[in-house]
Structure 1
């Protein structure tokens, strides 16, 4: 008999944080010219209450993060199926998620870097958090999928994620493939959400990064520490492709995610459609001080009110701190209208079948 899985709040929270009020469409000047790591002047879109000092702090932090990533200072044990040797021609999307603002930076090969600061609609978020998220969290009828927990101590988990063919996805409300962790009162959901209206003319399909961190999210009213699901705009990772996914519970105190793969466009506005390497980095603005994880997780889910929908994810080269995860670290899988298969190499395939 299948084990019922607890539906993570990612599905609801990611949808909650997609709409933003106060999006800044025009560039605002600062006290001095700021340049990206490529030497081009940064175009800045910001509300009036963001100071030049804050902009300087953000730009310096993001540039340092990109430069360190390019230099490989984190010495990650990379999944070689996805090349990370093409950084000079890659898009960098760096997103910092705070309770009051989301800071989005993009450095693309064919245009000037952009920093966009957006303020969420707090009233909308509060209403939906109270009325909708808890309903989705506690009623399994609102979602189906499979969850593979991994109990292994370490600072980060990395995996090669094979995204499904478009024909293998019936998203109903939404479809997600993601990792993350559980640590005490914290639950982090970090990965990709399917979008059927990306690319030039919104005529393509693909996968966008999403990250949600919650406190007291299971069995209690969830406090959303951070959440966002629209960093790429019209851009997205290719369906039926491989991406490297890395998740940290404490990277300098912050929860952090990195995804490396191939996007359908050359920038987030999709001014030109062409397969382009894309490195997406998301992190919390605040240090959460999480000291350890209870378990890591790998999931494939569909948000649905009638147990319908399909999805698929294959996780291979699953590592913690660069070392392969042993068979003994995999807990019994949790499924609801889904199947989970693990082979002799500990590759995990989750197939969401629906009714």
Structure 2
């Protein structure tokens, strides 16, 4: 069993407590405990998230080790999310990882959450053939929207990112305006399949080159719906599918226009997607269409490796372990943490 190092990954950056075990790029277990409590608040409540992590972390790690068919003494290192994320949530994961590292006398490896999303593509069953360097990666989540040039495992450059809100936040806020449950992104994606994406037009923000902005779009959606509801109180329910399809099309158009521009400027035709919003079917379909339209080679990870998960932390931990890139026990968690 120990021919290759065995890495435990721990992820606790937001509201999912996750643990995974990896050996030689193969995920042996991948356990996630979701926090349903935030749905009634329409968003993640940091204090409630950190308390739930404290309750979940021990059983989640135990389950990951059990499913992997190993003992904790078989572990070679502990990888954990250092940031970015909610500070209270990050501290639960980092404290546990440090304690286990000390108890087992094995190395500690700190991981950038966004780097983890990108390097999830190198998990054995994430892609049949992983991308080769260099490639572009569009990382889209509730908190981040970035276009990253990936030159090797740990040499990455942010070509453009959001100057205000992230794409995932735009989906969730639009959903809240329409009275949808949180998180709204998957609900909008489902309803949009039955709607007309050209029924309603929303203006796209004008920002420099590869930068993104979604704050103005959120405001435009709010004002538009308020105006229509004033004239027809049943406007949302009568047009819900078309609203979802039109909003989704606008957000995906913004993402794809910037990504196409980045690919044309850099000359890179290997393009990947990562992050929770990359589970959106419209983004996936539009990206796949670029294989014929732009002659791109496109890489889309399995759904289970798109949302926050510990498999991506374990994968990145394995790559850092191979370089003996270990963390100090007094390393501090950080809410903001750039990948370049």
On whether the aligned pair clears a TM of 0.5, the verdict is no
Give the structure with the larger strand fraction.
Answer: 1
Q: TM-score, with normalisation over the residues of structure 1?
A: 0.24
Q: Which has the higher helix share?
A: 2
TM-score (norm 2): 0.25
Return the index of the structure with the highest Cα Rg: 2
